Structure 1
Amino acid sequence: MSSYSTVKTLRVSANNKVTYAYRTLGTSTDLPPLVLIQHFRGNLDNWDPALIDALAQRRQVITFDNRGVAASTGRTPHTIADMATDAVEFVAALGLSRVDLLGFSIGSFVAQEIALLRPDLVNRIVLASAAPQGASGMHGWAPDVIEDVGGEVPSPEAYLRVFFTPTDAGQAAGQEVLGRVFASRIEGHDEPTTWATRLAQYDAVAHWGIPNHSLLERLRAITQPVFVANGDSDGMIQPHYSYLLAGLLPHAEIKIYPDAAHGFLFQHCHEFAADVDAFLRE
């Protein structure tokens, strides 16, 4: 099997007049394809190839740039609900009628909305570094976090501070991930995300986090099995939101990974991929 670091970027045009950039790895099986939804300001290149390669051992894995992000056309929406609608359009453009979802960070918000908008489309759901809409304390991120991830020119040092713990093990893992994510692809890079995308996505995050406890009840309508996961030291989306999610979802299981922050799924890529594979095959 080829590696995510070498697969080519493909494009598909949808009924919403958006041309989506995407990549696919693995072969079609009797299992639904696994569609990945990216983090804040992330593009196709920001997925860890080691994670994607591990996930694609048993199934087809699809990553994509949503509307207005990186190489996809259109303008980035300012709400999670619109991002979910655009993601559904992408899945439909590929001719898929049933998928598994893995949403990471802001992608986990989008995954929740997709499950509510089109429950017939979604088989199983993985929510990584996730929070429910309306939870207290999610109205924007802490000043130090947004200073690191929200600047005009993100830096490797800021990435290490937010995505990994300050321990020796955490920083060593972060250096390894930096090498895989930012240095393993030699050609065919994705377009960088723009400042307009950053502003729109942060508007969506802030709107999602306006405290409104009545919105938490919406999670009762997500009846699919859900795997909720996070690092024990995630300062961007704190792990107590994972416990809140798992308690509100009718059919959820949870795992918190040790000595890990926002990038736990890259730091523990092989363990996380094995956990996701076992969950999706249950």
Structure 2
Amino acid sequence: MTDQPTHVHDSLGAPTMFVEAANGIRYAYRRFGAAGMTPLVMLPRFRGDLESWDPALFALLAETREIILFDNRGVSATSGTTPSTVAEMARDALAFFDSMELEQIDLLGFSLGGFVAQDIALIRPDLVRRLILAATAPRGGPDMHGWRKDIADAVRKDEPGPAELLYTFFKATDASQAAGGAYLRRFMARSLDRDSASSLATRDAHYDAVCEWGTPDHGALQRLRGIRQPTFVANGDADAMIPPRLSHLLGGLIPDATVKIYPDAGHGFLFQHHTEFGADVNAFLDR
């Protein structure tokens, strides 16, 4: 059973609502934007929750479409225990979609969320109309068996702060670091009804899932041939967490994919280049 739906344009004013799914999990979610078109569901990064996005990006996307965000099982305000595999996360996401009676969606997955988005598109192809894979990698791809030590140490701290986010998500240039600082100010713009931080158990389960997904497996790359949806693959040119060469690998193996690499940017390219990325996403979804 869902809370009464609300349609507000501004992400900062969207209330956190809850829905009980058939798997017994109570999911926290928000929905906002222009109702009527195919909704865009956005799946967040490692340790991500309802607050992990950029209000400036939402302002561009929500002008013409409805946006749905949710905490998957065990994350922040959603009940249950966070699973440690991407496959389980995809099944839990599908349970949420079913509870919301979503018959067709556009799907944007960022980082770990992009792993989950790939599995969703393969498990239930008729659900996903168009797919956006941001700063993410294919299952079994090379050099994805965990992150390099400095990155892993930073993002796995008990309480990572602004310094860790600037180091891991933005390039070590003046322009990129300045854009990261601006994102951090926008990131904190919502003062009321903020989502609770994800737990250390979620951190550990998410990293297990990242490592399991990234275990080298050349044969697993062939799964991408099954993604038939039009797909937009994007990344920054200096992503230290997921190298942009893996974006090109995704683009080469998904039959109907377009790849764009954004300049002077790292893992958080979609926040640094939010205006350009938002316009590119809107154009791709409207095409």
Is the shorter-chain TM-score for this pair beyond 0.5, marking a shared fold?
yes
The residue identity in structure 2 corresponding to 1:271 is E
* TM-score, L = length of structure 1: 0.98
Are 2:223 and 1:212 equivalent residues in the alignment? no
Q: In structure 2, what is the equivalent of residue 191 of structure 1?
A: 196
After superposition, what is the alpha-carbon deviation per residue over 1:32-58, rounded to whole angstroms, capped at 9, x for unaligned? Answer: 100000000011011111111211110
For 1:252 and 1:186, the matched residues in 2 are separated by: 38
- Could you tell me how far 1:148 is from its partner in structure 2? 0.9
The residue identity in structure 2 corresponding to 1:195 is L
* TM-score, L = length of structure 2: 0.96
* Contact 1:18/1:67, CA 8 A, preserved across alignment: yes
Are 2:121 and 1:111 equivalent residues in the alignment? no
* Contact 2:9/2:63, CA 8 A, preserved across alignment: no
Are 2:31 and 1:20 equivalent residues in the alignment? no
For 2:160 and 2:59, the matched residues in 1 are separated by: 26
* Contact 1:21/1:65, CA 8 A, preserved across alignment: yes
Are 2:2 and 1:9 equivalent residues in the alignment? no
Q: Secondary structure at the match of 1:234?
A: coil
For 1:212 and 1:12, the matched residues in 2 are separated by: 37
**How do residues 30-109 of structure 1 correspond to structure 2 at under 5 angstroms?**
31-109=37-115
Distance 1:2 1:99, change over 3 A: closer
The residue identity in structure 2 corresponding to 1:171 is Q
For 1:265 and 1:193, the matched residues in 2 are separated by: 22
Query: Please, which runs of 5 or more residues in structure 1 have no aligned partner?
Result: none
Q: In structure 1, what is the equivalent of residue 5 of structure 2?
A: none
Query: Please, which runs of 5 or more residues in structure 2 have no aligned partner?
Result: 1-7
Q: In structure 1, what is the equivalent of residue 270 of structure 2?
A: 265
* Contact 1:239/1:256, CA 8 A, preserved across alignment: yes
* Contact 2:32/2:68, CA 8 A, preserved across alignment: yes
For 1:2 and 1:280, the matched residues in 2 are separated by: 18
For 1:270 and 1:94, the matched residues in 2 are separated by: 30
Which of 237, 246, 261 aligns to 2:251? It is: 246
Q: Secondary structure at the match of 1:41?
A: coil
- Could you tell me how far 1:66 is from its partner in structure 2? 0.4
After superposition, what is the alpha-carbon deviation per residue over 1:167-194, rounded to whole angstroms, capped at 9, x for unaligned? Answer: 1101110110000002x01110101100
* Contact 1:25/1:53, CA 8 A, preserved across alignment: no
Q: In structure 2, what is the equivalent of residue 274 of structure 1?
A: 279
Deviation >3 Å, runs of 4+: none
Q: Secondary structure at the match of 2:209?
A: helix
Q: In structure 2, what is the equivalent of residue 156 of structure 1?
A: 162
Percent of residue pairs identical? 52
